[in-house]
Amino acid sequence: MHFLSAITGSFAMPADENPTVAMMTAAYAHHGIDAVYLNCEVAPESLGAAVNGARAMGWVGFNCSIPHKIAVIAHLDRLAPSAEIIGAVNCVVRDGRELVGHNVDGQGFLTSVRTVIDPAGARVAVLGSGGAARAIAVELALAGAAEIQVVGVRPEPGTALAQLVTDRTPAIGRYVRWQGRWAVPAGVDLLVNATPVGLFPDVTALPAIDLDSLRPPTIVADVIPNPPTSALVAAARARGLTVLDGLGMLVNQGALAITLWTGVDPDRSVMRDRLTEIFTPIEP
């Protein structure tokens, strides 16, 4: 008998609307894993102190969400190969005395995408150029996507991500300046919203795109998990497009994190069912 549970958690700001804690706790309980998951609101200026605190208290690992996925790298000992290419971290794993940065965002998204499309040869447009966008763009490119259009308001990070895709993967990366309402070009196989637009509590917000340009066979995917049926997903579904909600990516990346921390491959249906219980979808 012992009384020292493994500690895991998440550092984000804001943190209150992050549902990760619910699905992780459900997975721990289902598999009898003696661990806790703490949802922590950490301001950017306190990130270093939070990482040092997790290190001092022997946490086995933690997630990083908005706005820490890039900034956390400065506080870690080393990066796993995929995180090094992406330049962003969403999962930190204790390895002996070291804290190692991984990125399972893109891997989780890729698992979800493969339920509706083979990314090999696909033309992809990614809205945004932050941590989630970087992970998704790189993983899709490594999976064989032909072209990644990075659609962003800020030229510097958008251009850098497009160049990263071109330089480090077989795909072609291209930056597209996001001005006004962006029209999705014909021939885009997959449109991904990798921005926080539409995240709770601003659940009616839509990315600045021309909704009339959303036409089949383009597939629309959103990384927003709360609400799972974001305003963009609802609008695309109403226009007859195939859609992917943010729960697929969230569940899959969470399952990968649990495996890295505990060695257990959790039942993803248990995790998704718990999230489904706590959300009321927005219907078109």
Question: Does the active-site annotation cover 84?
Answer: no
Q: Is the dihedral of CA 85, 90, 91, 94 positive or negative?
A: positive
Q: What is the pLDDT of residue 256?
A: 97
**Bigger pLDDT: 213 or 65?**
213
CA distance 92 to 100: 6
Query: Domains of the chain: which residue ranges?
Result: 6-102+248-278, 107-245
Q: Is the pLDDT of residue 284 over 60?
A: no
pTM: 0.88
Domains 6-102+248-278 and 107-245 share a fold: yes
Q: Is the pLDDT of residue 281 over 80?
A: no
Specify the 3-state DSSP secondary structure of 78: strand
Homologous superfamily, domain 6-102+248-278:
Leucine Dehydrogenase, chain A, domain 1 (3.40.50.10860)
% of the chain exceeding 70 in pLDDT: 98
Q: Is the pLDDT of residue 279 over 90?
A: no
- Mean pLDDT over 235-252 rounds to 95
CA distances in angstroms from 58 to 232, 235, 252, 259, listed in the order given:
40, 45, 25, 18
Q: Which of 68, 69, 75, 134 is catalytic?
A: 69
Write out the CATH class of domain 107-245.
alpha beta
Specify the 3-state DSSP secondary structure of 258: helix
Q: Is the pLDDT of residue 267 over 60?
A: yes
Q: Is the pLDDT of residue 282 over 70?
A: no
The pLDDT tens digits for 114-170 are 999 999 999 999 999 988 899 999 999 999 999 999 999 999 999 999 999 999 999
